[in-house]
Amino acid sequence: MPELEIDGRRLRYEFSGPGDAPVLTFANSLGTTLEMWAPQAAALGDRYRLLRFDARGHGGSDLGDAAPVESFADDVLSLLDHLGIAQTHFCGLSLGGLTGQALAIAAPDRLLSLTLANTAVQIPGDALWNGRIAAVRAGGLESIAEAVLARWLTPDAPPELRTHLEEMLCSIEREGYARACIAVRDADFRDRAPAIAAPTLVISGDGDTATPPEMSETLAGLIPGARHVMLKGAGHISNLEQAAAFTDALRAHLDRHPEG
């Protein structure tokens, strides 16, 4: 799989699709890799050029220096520039949604549309984040896997999905995960979200305990013109637990805003 080197740091990505199609960029959540978007890639790959990448410190992307969430958005811009992409649709979940907010604020001219899933303008809980950081540094991702999966999925999620996500989570390097937790903990777009100009869809899951629907409602209320869709039977990783409904909502949003 291709890699982009940024200041000596590798960024793993995949870019595929029809040569003249619009670009749709996906940003993964904390504790996952670009493979989390497999259902959406399969459903939309004939209509869009799809750009997926591993967030820094995840999968095949090196960590580099500790950095705020804005630096995750800088990585997206580096990829777009490297690939000669002037504008893109963007879809990010959780950490990827925070990345999308930072990107929309820093480089509004690069976005055709914005989809923010299972995220918030601020994800509170310093004690939770600090405890998770300490646990991961001491005992690795296995030490928190059960607690994380309980926040990621509803009790009705298929066992095979739970196993798949546990394997993905436990494949992440512990310091990469810990530094990303710091970025999430410190991210705060409450004062800046109203400046987002891209046509925006906010997706939530009715069973999401990590970023409950009321956080999505707040986020959508702060972004001018944003729409909010809540998926039934979905936890935090809604694009996998309710893949078809998620893809349908995303596709409808893209169809409404083909050129921004």
In this predicted structure, what is the pLDDT of residue 125? 87
- CA–CA separation, 241 vs 165, rounded Å? 11
Q: How far apart are CA 60 and CA 146, in angstroms?
A: 24
Number of H helices, E strands in the chain: 10, 8
Task: Classify residue 148 by its DSSP letter.
Answer: H
Q: Please list the residues that pair with 51 across neighbouring strands.
A: 15, 25
| 185/188 Cα distance (integer angstroms) | 8
pTM exceeds cut of 0.85: yes
Distance of CA 200 to the CA centre of its chain: 14
For residue 252, what are the contacts with CB-CB under 8 A and spacing of at least 6?
none
Which pair of structure tokens corresponds to residue 144?
């928190």
Residue 195 tokens read as 């400046």
Mind listing the pLDDT tens digit of every residue in the chain (260 residues)?
A: 787 788 788 999 999 999 899 999 999 999 999 999 999 999 999 999 999 999 999 999 998 876 899 999 999 999 999 999 999 999 999 999 999 999 999 999 999 999 999 999 999 889 999 999 999 999 999 999 999 999 999 999 999 999 999 999 999 999 999 999 999 999 999 999 999 999 999 999 999 999 999 999 999 999 999 999 999 999 999 999 999 999 999 999 999 999 88
Range list of H helices, the chain: 38-44, 69-83, 95-106, 126-139, 145-152, 159-170, 174-186, 213-222, 238-241, 243-256
* 252/146 Cα distance (integer angstroms): 34
The answer to whether the beta carbons of residues 182 and 133 sit under 8 Å apart is yes
pLDDT value of position 45: 96
Q: Which residues lie across from 117 on neighbouring strands?
A: 93, 203
CA 239 to centroid of chain Cα atoms? 10
Paired tokens of 43: 């459903």
Give yes or no for a contact between 59 and 33, defined as CB atoms under 8 angstroms apart.
yes
What pLDDT sits at residue 230? 98
- 33-59: buried (b, 16+ CB within 10 Å) or exposed (e) per residue? bbebbeebbebbeeebbbbbbbbbbbb
Sequence length of the chain is 260
Q: What is the pLDDT of residue 128?
A: 93
Residue 246: predicted pLDDT:
99
User: Looking at residue 89, what is its pLDDT?
Assistant: 98
